Structure 1
Amino acid sequence: MYGIRNCDSVRKARKLLDESKVDYTFHDYKKDGADENALNEACERFGWESVLNKRGTTWRKLDDETKAGVSDQGSAIALMMQETSLIKRPLITGGKQLLLGFDAALWGEIMEKGEL
């Protein structure tokens, strides 16, 4: 699981996984930086527009020139590598499912099927 330790969505996701006794490794973007391969995989699966979080404070604080420079997957990943708070989270990789964002109902269904 990739995310930021103090993010509300990440905390909810980790709590659910811990309560469900699901083993996972946590990669904290703030301590460990972003993983370019994981970002590429997420962008290929979900589209870079979904992986790049434009709804948060970090995006709103960027200058207009920086925002305008994000026009494709490569430029989005480059910016997310610099500003890890721009990555939608949590991101789950390595299991049977690739998941982006936290949806308790969906995650519950996936865990019931043993696909996480």
Structure 2
Amino acid sequence: MIKMYGIKNCDTIKKAQKFLITRGVEFEFIDFRQTPISKKTLQSFIDVVGWDKIINKRSTTYRNFSDEEKQNISLSLTLKNPTLIKRPVLVTADDIEVGFSEKLYQRFV
């Protein structure tokens, strides 16, 4: 089963969901705000794709951080501020993909 992590009101999440739904791809959506992810889950994302891909440097949350905070992004800081996580995070049995592009998602169809 595919799991999609994100925030329900995110435009990129909506695009990714629409893409999968219109192609009949089943997935489970997990909203970071309603069901906070665990430290173990976040660490698994980082282990596969790395911090650079996980952190959304365009987010308001990130931009409002001090330079020191930006240099010291940690698991606990990210768990307290889930909007730091780039969306969507798509988890399959074999891989983790961050962000949305139709080209990237074609392999799930």
Q: Same fold (TM over 0.5)?
A: yes
State how 1:90-105 maps to structure 2 within 5 Å: 90-105=88-103
TM-score normalised to structure 1 length:
0.81
Shifted more, 29-38 versus 86-95: the winner is 29-38
Question: Which of 67, 70, 75 lines up with 1:64 in the alignment?
Answer: 67
State how 1:5-84 maps to structure 2 within 5 Å: 5-70=8-73, 75=74, 77-84=75-82
Higher strand content, 1 or 2: 2
> What does the per-residue CA deviation read over 1:3-48, in whole Å, with 9 as the maximum and x for residues that have no partner?
0001111100100111111111110011111232332121111111
- Pair 96,60 (structure 1): closer, same or farther in 2 beyond 3 Å: same
**Alpha-carbon offset, residue 69 of structure 1:** 2.6
For residues 92 and 105 of structure 2, the distance between their equivalents in structure 1, rounded to whole angstroms, comes to 15
| 4+ residue segments displaced more than 3 Å | 94-97
Extract unaligned runs of 5+ from structure 1: none
TM-score normalised to structure 2 length:
0.86
**What's the C-alpha RMSD, in Å, of the aligned pairs?**
1.5
- 8 Å Cα contact 1:88-1:100 kept in structure 2: yes
Which structure ranks higher in relative contact order (CA pairs < 8 Å, sequence separation ≥ 6)? Answer: 2
SS at 1:41 equivalent: helix
- Pair 47,31 (structure 1): closer, same or farther in 2 beyond 3 Å: same
Higher helix content, 1 or 2: 1
SS at 1:102 equivalent: coil
Shifted more, 30-39 versus 15-24: the winner is 30-39
Extract unaligned runs of 5+ from structure 2: none
For residues 81 and 58 of structure 1, the distance between their equivalents in structure 2, rounded to whole angstroms, comes to 13
Identity %: 34
Q: State the one-letter code of the partner of 2:56.
A: N
SS at 1:25 equivalent: strand
- 8 Å Cα contact 1:89-1:100 kept in structure 2: yes
